[in-house]
């Protein structure tokens, strides 16, 4: 513990250098804007700005990009509360009660509760990350290929189980993502796979063009400008403070959302999205007045907003300790560090203490900055929302093209982005969630390598996955989740996931 504190102090010394504070501020500001603007989520925001970090060192780059990530979680609540448009996917649940509060003249209170809840959750997440990540990294050194295989399979199954769309749809998306991840040279045998003699495909399909295409361009193609309502509720600064009663109603949901979000964040999957859905369901279940949900319940804002922030910090635990991307966003962050010559994994804390502890300490600073940014500057962000969407989306397309091209200076990547944009449009038409596809693409190389290494190690005996305790437990949990989903599928039962999907569609009830 003393060693951790000493290292954290070293981290603060790094994070509080002027340059690093500036990049943390820039990341938080851009992240808030990314969260505020509909149609551009944290994944596309980070991907688009990745080339901007090429002139920085690894610590500055990760501080700024992570600031965009957790900043977007704060910013996403603004459009949800003021316009009933989720700035990004994890703010969907905030729309329901946040907008209802705004309609009742409590927009300021809703924004304040969302910001304070996010700050508490974010800070709690960083404290736990500080304590948990280094020992977990030590434990992770004992992970072999079978354990990694089991962990990644659990991640995919968990995502499928938690998804509000059906199990089959999620597994189909994951399969498609894994298959796209097979494109390029096979690292173990040197075979070219599905590259059609295109040299650019030899290294495989990048995460950035796929993510920007599916989420950035796909969203634009699905959103004709005449369908975007520009009505924004303008909160008054003096109404920002919630009443004593509202604080009381928010306290426990913030605590529950924080704990729930952090735990979900650690598990591979689209954690920040799932956590807000689960937190909403939990709050509704434990509430003495569930009938108020959908009509402006404070808990319906406090819980999900805290949960998505805690989850976004929780997702950094497996990323920093194990080197495993648990979501497309952490995958892009790992990619960004690799571009700067830093390989993420159990040895990161010892090999690059400046990067690790500087990054952790910067999150304490960043969360404070976000609290200071989000409340007083809410009117500024509301002004941004007044830019007509017809003028906004050509700008986003331009940033998509620059962002994708600049990563590898490859026009093939930009074409891939366009194809993925069209695919994203088609998937939305048929109610498929593209997030598992990106996660599949991200984990495909690690999953394939660890699976094949495991089989080679055991001379083809697949029982190796059941003979090692950690792998056995992980696969046992995955099997249990599959069984639960299969039962619901066979019995055609309307379970909590279907109800959440209905709530997402705006039918709280």
Partner 1 sequence: MTLRADHVAGAAFVGFGLLVIALSGDLPMGGLSMPGSGFLPKILAGLMIFFGLVLIARAGESRPFAEVEWTDAKHAAAVTAITAAGIAAFELLGFLITMVLLMFLLLVAIERRPLHWAALYSLGVVGLTYVTFEYLLKTPLVTGPFGF
Give the residues lining the site for partner 1 (CB under 8 A): 51-52, 54-55, 168-169, 171-172, 175-176, 178-179, 182, 186, 188-189, 191, 193-194, 217, 220-225, 227, 390-391, 393-395, 397-399, 401-402, 405-406, 411, 414-415, 418, 421-422, 425, 429-432, 447-448, 451-452, 455-456, 459-462
In the complex with partner 1, which residue's Cβ is closer, 282 or 443? 443
For the bound state, the minimum distance from the C-beta of residue 51 to partner 1, rounded and expressed in Å, comes to 5
In the complex with partner 1, which residue's Cβ is closer, 363 or 416? 416
In the complex with partner 1, which residue's Cβ is closer, 100 or 441? 441
The secondary structure element, H or E, covering residue 52 is: none
For the bound state, the minimum distance from the C-beta of residue 417 to partner 1, rounded and expressed in Å, comes to 8
Q: What letter would DSSP give residue 243?
A: P
For the bound state, the minimum distance from the C-beta of residue 178 to partner 1, rounded and expressed in Å, comes to 5
For the bound state, the minimum distance from the C-beta of residue 23 to partner 1, rounded and expressed in Å, comes to 12
For the bound state, the minimum distance from the C-beta of residue 439 to partner 1, rounded and expressed in Å, comes to 14
419 exposed, middle or buried (CB, 10 Å; 0-12, 13-18, 19+)? middle
* DSSP structure string for 294-355: TTT-THHHHHHHHHHHHHHHHTHHHHHHH----SHHHHHHHHHHHHTT---STTHHHH-HHH
In the complex with partner 1, which residue's Cβ is closer, 188 or 237? 188
In the complex with partner 1, which residue's Cβ is closer, 245 or 459? 459
**HSE (side-chain half, CA atoms, 13 Å) at 18:** 0
Q: What letter would DSSP give residue 55?
A: G
| Ramachandran bin of 270, using left for φ above 0, alpha for ψ from -120 to 50, beta for the remaining angles | beta
In the complex with partner 1, which residue's Cβ is closer, 17 or 223? 223
In the complex with partner 1, which residue's Cβ is closer, 158 or 432? 432
For the bound state, the minimum distance from the C-beta of residue 320 to partner 1, rounded and expressed in Å, comes to 27
Closest Cα partner for 40 from 326, 393, 437?
393
Alpha helix ranges (H) inside 163-298: 167-180, 207-211, 218-221, 244-266, 271-286
For the bound state, the minimum distance from the C-beta of residue 321 to partner 1, rounded and expressed in Å, comes to 26
The CA-atom distances, in angstroms, between 399 and each of 40, 87, 121, 172 are: 10, 17, 31, 30
């Amino acid at each position: 513990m003393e060693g951790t504190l000493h290292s954290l102090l070293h981290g603060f010394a790094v994070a509080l250098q002027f340059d690093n504070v500036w990049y943390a501020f820039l990341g938080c500001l851009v992240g808030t804007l990314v969260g505020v603007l509909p149609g551009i989520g944290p994944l596309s925001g980070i991907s688009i700005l990745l080339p901007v970090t090429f002139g920085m060192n690894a610590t500055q780059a990760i501080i700024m990009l992570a600031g965009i990530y957790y900043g977007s979680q704060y910013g996403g609540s603004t459009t949800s509360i003021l316009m009933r448009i989720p700035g990004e996917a994890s703010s969907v649940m905030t729309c329901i009660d946040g907008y209802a509060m705004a309609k009742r003249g409590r927009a300021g209170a809703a924004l304040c509760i969302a910001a304070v809840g996010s700050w508490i959750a974010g800070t709690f997440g960083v404290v736990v990350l500080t304590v948990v990540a280094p020992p977990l990294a030590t434990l992770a050194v004992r992970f072999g290929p079978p354990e990694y295989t089991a962990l990644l399979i659990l991640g995919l199954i968990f995502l499928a189980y938690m998804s509000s769309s059906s199990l089959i749809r999620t597994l189909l998306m994951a399969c498609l993502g894994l298959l796209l991840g097979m494109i390029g040279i096979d690292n173990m045998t040197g075979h070219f796979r599905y590259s059609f003699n295109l040299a650019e495909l030899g290294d495989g399909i990048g995460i950035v063009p796929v993510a920007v295409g599916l989420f950035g361009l796909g969203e634009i193609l699905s959103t004709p400008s005449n369908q975007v309502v520009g009505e924004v509720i303008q909160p008054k600064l003096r109404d920002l403070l919630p009443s004593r009663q509202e604080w009381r109603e928010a306290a426990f949901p913030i605590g529950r959302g924080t704990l729930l979000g952090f735990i979900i964040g650690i598990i591979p999957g689209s954690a920040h999205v799932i956590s807000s859905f689960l937190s909403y369901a939990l709050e509704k279940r434990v509430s003495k007045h569930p009938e108020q949900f959908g009509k402006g319940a404070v808990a319906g804002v406090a819980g999900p907003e805290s949960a998505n922030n805690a989850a976004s910090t929780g997702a950094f635990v497996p990323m920093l300790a194990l080197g495993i991307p648990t979501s497309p966003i952490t995958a892009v962050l790992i990619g960004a560090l690799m571009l700067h010559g830093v390989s993420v994994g159990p040895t990161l804390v010892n090999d690059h203490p400046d990067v690790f502890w500087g990054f952790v300490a910067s999150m304490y600073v960043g969360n404070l900055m976000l609290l200071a940014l989000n409340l007083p500057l809410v009117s500024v962000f509301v002004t941004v929302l007044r830019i007509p969407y017809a003028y906004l989306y050509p700008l986003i397309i331009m940033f998509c093209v620059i962002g994708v091209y600049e990563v590898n200076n490859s026009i093939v990547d930009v074409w891939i982005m366009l194809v993925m944009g069209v695919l994203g449009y088609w998937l939305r038409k048929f109610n498929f969630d593209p997030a598992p596809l990106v996660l599949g693409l991200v984990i495909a190389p690690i999953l394939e390598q660890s699976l094949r290494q495991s089989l080679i190690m055991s001379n083809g005996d697949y029982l190796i996955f059941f003979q090692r305790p950690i792998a056995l437990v992980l696969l046992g949990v995955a099997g249990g989740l599959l069984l639960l989903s299969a039962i619901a599928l066979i019995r055609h039962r309307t379970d909590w996931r279907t109800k959440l999907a209905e709530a997402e569609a705006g039918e709280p009830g």
